[in-house]
């Protein structure tokens, strides 16, 4: 759980501390890329909690999802259709699924800890 969380915090710190301003024409690409990468981070946290984390799978998913999402937006812009909506739906639903898995894991862990303490 610690590796993806450190990566997320490190990335946020770099983004906040840097004075880089991207042109508005890149905003759709950056937004979808962030959404895809956030999905990978939450998936990494979830698998880490289950003790199934694999750094190779995490890194390939992080960069692969980000690249595929940006390519979808670029292709949609070239074809003049909103393929970004597909990426938003897919990555958004995966983010909520990963978050619900993390939440369930933590709630079950708290419940098990409470049962152990009361016995």
Instruction: Express as a percent the part of the chain with pLDDT over 70.
Output: 92
Confidence of residue 115 (pLDDT cuts 50, 70, 90): low
Higher pLDDT among residues 81 and 8, named by residue: 81
Per-domain residue ranges of the chain: 26-118
pLDDT at 100 over 70: yes
Average confidence (pLDDT) over 39-57: 90
Which distant-in-sequence residues (6+ apart) come within 8 Å of 87 by Cβ? Answer: 32, 35, 36, 69, 72, 73
DSSP one-letter code for 83: T
């Amino acid at each position: 759980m610690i590796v993806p969380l450190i990566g997320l915090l490190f990335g946020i710190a770099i983004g906040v501390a840097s004075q880089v301003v991207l042109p508005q024409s890149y905003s759709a690409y950056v937004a979808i890329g962030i959404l895809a990468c956030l999905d990978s981070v939450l998936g990494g946290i979830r698998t880490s909690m289950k003790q199934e984390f694999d750094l190779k799978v995490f890194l390939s998913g992080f960069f692969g999802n980000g690249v595929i999402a940006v390519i979808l937006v670029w292709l949609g812009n070239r074809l003049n259709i909103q393929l970004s909506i597909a990426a938003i739906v897919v990555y958004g639903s995966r983010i909520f699924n990963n978050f619900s898995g993390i939440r369930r894991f933590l709630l079950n862990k708290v419940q098990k800890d409470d049962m152990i303490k009361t016995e």
